[in-house]
Amino acid sequence: MRFGVTYAALLLNAAFTMEVFLLTKNLLVLLIMLPVHGICMLLCARDARYFDLLLMWAKTRLLAYFSSIRFWKGASYSPLLLDLPDRHGRRKAIATVRLS
């Protein structure tokens, strides 16, 4: 850890700030790094592996999500309709299982 954040958070902060700097061509934009670093410090204080888990999620689930959209033209792996519970936790239909 450096300056209260992990290396992944530090690199993410630096990359984001440099991208904004290159787009705006204004040196004052580099001051964005301070509040972004503060937010990263708060996230790392809550869970030190937050950015590592975020990168792992992006490498696994996010890539699978986008490849599913490209292949199936939708974000779901299953063509089945889901009967999700409402805000009270109740399902709309009673689940039935057929045994053959």
Q: What are the DSSP calls for 14-83, one per residue?
A: HHHHHHHHHHH--GGGGGGHHHHHHHHHHHHHH-TTHHHHHHHHIIIIIHHHHHHHHHHSSS-S--SPP-
| pLDDT digits 0-9 by tens, 5-34 | 999 999 999 999 999 999 999 999 999 999
And the tokens for 65?
Answer: 């999500």
Q: Give the amino acid at 82.
A: L
31-74, pLDDT tens digit by residue?
Answer: 999 999 999 999 999 888 888 888 888 888 777 777 777 776 66
Quote the pTM value: 0.59
